[in-house]
């Protein structure tokens, strides 16, 4: 299948950001994509103080715009993530997946929240604004089964292994790494999760906007089940097209049977 990872230029203007996403989704469809992917917080800067202002419930205006875009363009749409207002007023960092008929095929609420509080240094506490999710997310397409995680979730191999155990052969990662962690860890973790689990990983980020308080690293990329970077963007707005071949996943797992040779009988920690 042909996939388009969309790297939009995100600003503080919510409506402009949604219009940008819609324009690039339509361009992806014209380019032959059968699935389009948006980045984390595609209509909202990474600023926790702004999340309540931008947040919408499932079924809200932005959600509906993405549902309509999937249907109008006849493709699968992994709609990055958005601040979602929950039933009790809490806010989640949620990724919605829409099928080509516009129906919602899956929702992943970011499970691991980015909390850093260094004395005399950086303080970045996502949990002060966002409630964590608790569910492993996979969804089926005519091409194969996909998994979804959001940004900081990539730091946790346990979640990727559970997603693979649930049948995923490609895992999509809407994310916004920053200018400190991005150069060091973005490619490294995407490749590591790919090779450890013998899956495609698709890391989708926004373009770099130096005017934001949290500057995105950008560099959307795709890694093969061998852990190779097969496609990559730079820092500008653009669309990254790639082919996802689930036969390649099977081939890699046969040639190097890592998953088959796991020792589940010894993976329980026993302390004397």
Active-site residue list: 40, 110, 151
Structure tokens at 44: 């909202």
How far is Cα 117 from Cα 124, in angstroms, rounded to an integer?
6
Q: Can you give the C-alpha Rg of the chain in angstroms? A: 18
User: Where does 118-237 show beta strands of DSSP type E?
Assistant: 123-125, 138-140, 145-148, 170-174, 200-204, 221-223, 229-232
**Residue 35 near residue 80, CB atoms below 8 Å:** no
Q: State the DSSP H helix or E strand holding residue 239, giving kind and residue range, or none if neither.
A: strand 238-243
- Using CA atoms of 138, 243, 176, 229 in order, give the dihedral in degrees to the nearest 10: 120
């Amino acid at each position: 299948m042909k996939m388009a990872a969309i790297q939009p230029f995100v600003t503080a203007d919510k409506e402009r950001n949604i219009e940008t996403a819609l324009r690039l989704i339509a361009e992806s469809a014209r380019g032959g994509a059968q699935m389009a992917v948006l980045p984390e917080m595609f209509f909202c800067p990474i600023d926790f103080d702004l999340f309540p202002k931008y947040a919408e419930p499932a079924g809200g205006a932005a959600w509906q715009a993405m549902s309509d875009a999937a249907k109008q363009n006849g493709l699968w749409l992994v709609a990055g993530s958005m601040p979602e207002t929950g039933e009790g007023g809490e806010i989640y960092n949620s990724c919605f997946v829409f099928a080509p008929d516009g129906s919602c095929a899956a929702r992943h609420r970011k499970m691991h929240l980015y909390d850093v509080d260094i004395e005399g240094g950086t303080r970045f506490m996502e949990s002060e604004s966002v409630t964590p999710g608790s569910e492993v997310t996979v969804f089926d397409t005519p091409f194969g089964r996909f998994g979804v995680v959001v940004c900081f979730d990539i730091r946790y191999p346990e979640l990727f292994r559970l997603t693979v155990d649930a049948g995923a052969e490609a895992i999509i990662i809407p994310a916004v790494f920053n200018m400190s962690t991005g150069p060091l860890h973005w490619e490294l973790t995407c490749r590591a999760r790919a090779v450890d689990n013998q899956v495609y990983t698709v890391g989708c980020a926004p373009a770099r906007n130096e005017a934001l308080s949290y500057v995105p690293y950008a560099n959307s990329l795709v890694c093969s089940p061998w852990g190779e970077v097969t496609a990559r963007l730079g820092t500008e707005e653009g669309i990254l097209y790639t082919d996802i071949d689930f036969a390649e996943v099977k081939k890699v797992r046969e040639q190097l049977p890592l998953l088959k040779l796991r020792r589940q009988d010894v993976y329980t920690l026993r302390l004397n």
